[in-house]
Structure 1
Amino acid sequence: MATIADGRLVLRADGSTLADARPVFVGRRQEHLTNEVSVRLDVSRGVGGVAVRYDEQFRIELEAGRGTVVARASIGGLCQEWSHPFTGGHVDLHIASREPEGGAGLVSTSDVFHLAATIDGERVELARIDGRFLSSEVTESFTGRVIGVYAVEGDVAVESWLAEGNDE
């Protein structure tokens, strides 16, 4: 469930996760070939984050709450996590879809996701994930990439959302 309170979007968890067919998730389709989304969340009363979700089995998440930021890649039933501690109830989370760096060997046909959080004024990159795993060639799904915020425990308030992208 989502409500507006004090000018913030507040997501109230219902026990579902992004692996469920109907999570507590508010998102929009990825519009550009490369983009970056930065959100400021108040997780003082819950656990939630920002994610790129193709479907229930294929998604990347950047989740905060209970003193930890967790970057998570769920690819067809396989899951890997990276974590970093943080203090306080407010955190800035960043998911950037960027072109791969040149000279990396084989030709890449996809983007690379960079998952980061701003902690104590410093941007900390937690993971880099190959974007091919969130494509129709791999997932066999029609949905496409949807980027959004979610809650898995308690209440999570979205204080800001900034999205930038381009097609070059």
Structure 2
Amino acid sequence: MVGDLAPVMNAPSWPLHPVPGSPVRDDFDRSELHPRWVSPRSRRPEDCGTRQRPGWLTLRARGASLDAPDVTFLGRRQQHLSCRVRTLADTREGRGGLAVRLDARSGPDVIHLGVEDADGAFTVLARLDGRYLSTEVAGGFTGRVIGLYAVAGTMHFDWLDYQPLD
């Protein structure tokens, strides 16, 4: 006959404080990028880093478009159903900007692309059905990644804001 079972030890209690979320703004002030930043294929230090211009992210173009296999792209995963992402880019030496890549969500959503003026007014330049950036349409498995890219010359980015709107 088997007797009553009792745990050998009590389970540990949950932490009193939840793990803090990612900061809204990345100012690129550190000499190394945070691990949340990802790139397709490889990320050569001479093409992507924060040491070339302190306080700025510098991207040197390799591929001529976002479709090129050797594109210089640095992104972070979209972690919330709705978010606003902004950056300040210095385009004097190159061509590039902010891009959205592949999504693993299902269901329709709308991506608004635009510019923000110095007063904070947002002007929509284009709307995109988010399904075209989904695994159902485009394939893949990485989830939606929002980030910065260079397709000509050298781009510099002072900061990137990722603000959840949920």
So what's the TM-score if we normalise by structure 1?
A: 0.62
- CA offsets, 1:75-118, max 9 Å, x none? xxxxxxxxxxxxxxxxxxxxxxxxxxxxxxxxx93211010112
For the Cα contact (< 8 Å) 1:48–1:156, is it kept in 2?
yes
User: Aligned AA for 1:2?
Assistant: C
User: Aligned AA for 1:27?
Assistant: G
Aligned to 1:6: 54
Aligned to 1:21: 69
Instruction: Specify the structure having the higher radius of gyration (Cα).
Output: 2
Aligned to 2:137: 138
Change (3 A) 1:118 1:143: same
145-154 or 132-141: bigger deviation: 132-141
> Is there any run of 5+ residues in structure 2 with no aligned partner, and where?
1-46
Change (3 A) 1:115 1:50: same
User: Aligned AA for 2:114?
Assistant: A
Matched pairs, number: 115
Deviation at 1:140, TM superposition (A): 2.4
For the Cα contact (< 8 Å) 1:34–1:111, is it kept in 2?
no
Query: Which of 46, 50, 54 lines up with 2:94 in the alignment?
Result: 46
User: Aligned AA for 1:124?
Assistant: T
- CA offsets, 1:2-40, max 9 Å, x none? 122121001111244210223100011111111110011
For the Cα contact (< 8 Å) 2:63–2:70, is it kept in 1?
no
Give distance in 2, aligned partners of 1:143 and 1:156. 25
Give the alignment's Cα RMSD to 1 decimal: 2.1
> Is there any run of 5+ residues in structure 1 with no aligned partner, and where?
56-107
Name the SS of the counterpart of 1:115 in structure 2: strand
Say which structure, 1 or 2, has more relative contact order (CA 8 Å, 6+ apart).
1
For the Cα contact (< 8 Å) 2:62–2:70, is it kept in 1?
no
For the Cα contact (< 8 Å) 1:47–1:155, is it kept in 2?
yes
Give distance in 2, aligned partners of 1:128 and 1:113. 6
User: Aligned AA for 1:162?
Assistant: D
User: Aligned AA for 2:123?
Assistant: V
Residue identity (%) = 43
Aligned to 1:153: 152
Query: Which structure is higher in strand share?
Result: 1
